[in-house]
Amino acid sequence: MIQLYDVHKSYGSKVALDGLTLSVAPGELFAFLGPNGAGKSTTISLLTGLATYDRGQALLGGLDLRRDPLKAKRLCGLVTQYPNLDAELSVGENLDIHGRLFGLSAKKRREKKAELLNYVELADRENSLVKTLSGGLKRRLMLARALTHEPKVLFLDEPTVGLDPAIRRRVWSLIKKINQDQVTIFLTTHYIEEAEFLASRVGFLNEGRLIKTGQPQEIMASFGEWAVDVYGQDGYKSQYFPDREKAADFLRTLPEGGAMRRVNLEDVFLGLTGRKVD
């Protein structure tokens, strides 16, 4: 569904993407991880036609984004990092306008509006002004809007930023449900637990370069099952172990103690780059 070949993108002297090559299969839920400024949002901007790349090739559903940009755009839906709904319009009116922009008939717009408002559990808020909605409800409406024209791939750029943990997990459940309906999802996030819970495959991006891809559990297992954080004057360092017993044995040898926990994806990224996902 998504194919990038040696894609380069710079903003003046700042290199955003440095030879990015990546493939995402139809129906996959792929998560892009990396620190701020790594190139995650730039990648989504290129794939959704909001920006152009300097060289390389980008395909969406087999369509070249340079040769067939409008056809490619019709294949994708986008949920941006920050809400961009029309706050002075109602929930239903926001969906209706999106349907008009994509050329849906009046009958189709009515059908999709009813279907999607039920899907995201907002049917009782159809006539509410967007400015009266909470942050979590706005996120759900943005997902419904992005699905109005029945896209093949859904791009989610930090879709739960700023939400409290309980609301974030409700959005996760909705994202899972969308993916189960065979919509390909390309997700950028700096929440490690979000990628671990949602993604069937993850990619680590650092300074515009893809440094590793794979299934979350397999990548974490390559480091170990358990970690011990050892505290010192310069902060802490982590040691990794294949099982709990070996980690506990090591912890008992530490004169000043430490903390034992399961390995997560941030351990992998830190080990690969020396930087945290933030």
- Determine the Cα angle at 12 with ends 7 and 14, to 5°: 65
User: Which residue, chain included where needed, has tokens 């050329």?
Assistant: 103
β-strand partners of 198: none
My answer on whether 139 and 186 are in the same domain is yes
Task: HSE, CB side, 13 Å, CA atoms: give it for residue 198.
Answer: 34
Same domain, 111 and 231: no
Helix, strand or coil for residue 154? strand
116: three-class secondary structure by DSSP = helix
Token pair of 240 as six digits: 């990794």
pLDDT of residue 166: 85
Residues 240 and 157 in one domain: no
Residue ranges for the chain with pLDDT beneath 70:
233-235, 274-278
Residues 136 and 235 in one domain: no
Q: Enter the pTM of the model.
A: 0.88
C-alpha distances in Å from residue 189, one per residue of 68, 139, 141, 147, 248? 28, 15, 19, 20, 32
Q: In angstroms, rounded to a whole number, what is the distance separating the alpha carbons of residues 1 and 58? A: 11
Domain boundaries, position 70: 2-218
Q: What is the pLDDT of residue 275?
A: 62
Number of H helices, E strands in the chain: 10, 13
The per-residue pLDDT for 278 is: 59
Tokens of 39: 């190139």
237 and 208 in one domain? no
- Do 172 and 93 belong together in one domain? yes
Torsional class of 80: left (φ above 0), alpha (ψ -120 to 50), beta (otherwise): beta
* Cα 222 from chain centre: 23
Phi, psi of 64 (to 5 degrees): -75, 125
Look at the chain and report how many structural domains it folds into: 2
pLDDT score at 44: 92
- pLDDT of 124 reads 94
Residues 248 and 179 in one domain: no
The predicted pLDDT at position 277 comes to 63
